[in-house]
Amino acid sequence: MKIELNARWIKGDSEIHLFRKMSDVLKITYDTLFIQETHQRRISYHSETINRAASRELSDLWIIAYSPRQKRIRTPFLQAKYHRKNILPDGIFKGDYFQYELLSQRPELLDGGTLNFPINVLSKSCCDSVGSYGIFYIDDYDSINFAYCSASQLTLTDKPTTYGQFSVNLSFPTVQQSVSECCFFRCSEFNYTYDIDIFTDHLLQLNIGEELCHNSEGLLFLKNFITRNFNTVDLTQLVNLINNLRDRNNNGDG
């Protein structure tokens, strides 16, 4: 993944250019990934920090990683940032507090936005990594790399007191990378990495995002979203998997 992204990267790229190029590489290279751009698709939620409604984009990318063989689907919402220098060794980057609050606290939405996301699209998940960050940065080899972290694993130093005060420092955890079980269903969850190839491996191994096979409502939303917006012939494998999982859940086997 790192080689392919750097072959497309140019010095003037913004974070939007980079996450679109990464998305293109992932979709072209791996046929079990479906990616929808959600950049500037704003939703609203109630901020507990300042006790008022806040409006933010849900994420930059909505990634659907799936395995027909394993009968599993994982769906992270990934917010992308461009650090423009090496994020190591301290793992600190600047972010928007309310975006962080949304993805780390995962409240119910007040409004699902133009894509009509269910109000529990974040809150229903048993896996924190449904809300995640990806930080593009320049590594020691003067190459673009990518640091990934579940939003809940990030640390911030100060909370804002007003809606207009939103820029904060966020930092990666200091513990070792690991895969853990996160819930009753024993869903696997990958914490963080500073390496884009390791991120890609865990994405494909279905260790990141909500384990959608347990969520019948989420499966129906995803099917309806695909049916409304895409040629389902191109996504036959994914649509068939969604139908199989919904049938299994309706029969009480999920």
Residue the block writes with tokens 């999982």:
245
Residue the block writes with tokens 């895409």:
230
Half-sphere exposure at residue 73, Cβ-oriented, CA atoms within 13 angstroms: 27
- Strands 42-47, 52-57: pairing is antiparallel
**Residue 228 binned pLDDT confidence (cut-offs 50, 70, 90):** very high
pLDDT > 90? residue 184: no
Q: Looking at mean pLDDT, say which of 170-174, 183-187, 195-199 comes out highest.
A: 195-199
Answer whether 119's CB lies under 8 Å from 108's CB. yes
Measure the CA–CA gap between 142 and 126, rounded to whole angstroms.
38
Answer whether 127's CB lies under 8 Å from 187's CB. yes
Condensed to tens digits (0 to 9), the pLDDT of residues 24-49 reads 999 999 999 999 999 999 999 999 99
pLDDT for the residue 112: 95
Please report, for the chain, how many H helices and E strands are present, in that order: 6, 16
pLDDT > 70? residue 253: no
Answer whether 106's CB lies under 8 Å from 79's CB. no
Measure the CA–CA gap between 242 and 240, rounded to whole angstroms.
5
Q: In sequence order, which residues have a C-beta less than 8 Å from that of residue 6 and are 6 or more positions away?
A: 143, 144
Cα–Cα distances in Å, from 14 out to 17, 84, 91, 102?
A: 5, 9, 20, 23
- How does the average pLDDT of the chain come out, rounded? 92
pLDDT for the residue 214: 83
pLDDT > 90? residue 158: no
pTM: 0.93
Distance between start and end Cα atoms, the chain? 34
**Residue 183 binned pLDDT confidence (cut-offs 50, 70, 90):** low
> Which contacts qualify for 247-253: CB closer than 8 Å, 24 or more apart?
248/71, 249/213, 249/216, 249/219, 250/216
Span 182-199, mean pLDDT?
A: 84
CA 149, chain centre distance (Å): 9
Measure the CA–CA gap between 122 and 58, rounded to whole angstroms.
9
Residue the block writes with tokens 């939405």:
109
pLDDT for the residue 237: 94
Q: What is the dihedral of CA 44, 150, 168, 111, to 10 degrees?
A: 0
